[in-house]
Homo-oligomer: A and B are copies of this chain.
Amino acid sequence: MIRNTRQRTAVNAVFEELEGFHSAQEVHARMRAAGDSIGLSTVYRAVQALVDDGELDSIRTDAGEAIYRRCSTRHHHHLVCRACGRTEEVEGPAVERWADRVAGEHGFVDVTHTLEIFGTCAACHRAGATTETP
């Protein structure tokens, strides 16, 4: 049975009032700073439960940290600036169809996919920022 606990609700609430991607550790620190007593393990568990429920999206940063974000249930992909980390949601029905078709051609069923696009956003490019730090 899945229980409705104070902690789980609290983690959920954090993502409701935050925008963009945030790491589990950041959420934990933020909650502790706000006077909310919660364990790090619990944050990880809650976050993973939310991912399982499809309420959060997770991706990995270049540094190997997992970051999470509440996103619309509609299927979409992410366009991430590798300099400032800004993220935009993009949709591509053509890609969905392509992935399904290619998988089907290889005899695969029950198909899902992950797609992330990385680049340098206009602002960072103007600022001369690239992958490397000045």
Given A66-B64, A108-B120, CB of A102 within 8 Å of CB of B90: yes
Q: Which residue of B lies closest to A61 (CB)?
A: B60
A20 part of interface (Cβ distance < 8 Å):
no
Query: How many of chain A's residues touch chain B, expressed as a range?
Result: 35 or more
Name A's B-contacting residues (CB within 8 A). Answer: 60-62, 64-66, 79, 81, 88, 90, 92, 94-95, 98-99, 102-103, 106-123, 125, 130-131
Known: A64-B65, A113-B116. 11 other contacts (CB 8 A): A79-B102, A79-B106, A92-B102, A95-B95, A99-B117, A103-B119, A107-B123, A108-B117, A109-B119, A112-B119, A115-B116
